[in-house]
Amino acid sequence: MSATELIKQVAALSQRERLLFEQLFHGDRPPIHVAAAAALGVKEFVTFDVRQGAMAKQAGLTVKP
């Protein structure tokens, strides 16, 4: 993948992330890890951060541990 293609993918991810999380969290922006996981279709999310785990659950991810 070229650098240009990677930049385009990151820009698209940022736009999808912004739209998704503005709807889900009403402007309370989640950590980029949660946003990226949801935008990429990840099913399970591992974190020890309570707030991050709560946001991941709101995004439909299964939170572990």
Looking at residue 31, the DSSP 8-state letter turns out to be: P
- Interatomic CA distance for residues 42 and 25, integer angstroms: 18
Q: What is the pLDDT of residues 15-30, one digit of tens each?
A: 777 677 666 665 555 6
Q: What is the pLDDT of residue 61?
A: 93
* pTM for the model: 0.56
The reply to whether omega before 65 is within 30° of 0 (cis) is yes
Domain ranges of the chain: 3-64
Q: Is the pLDDT of residue 63 over 90?
A: yes
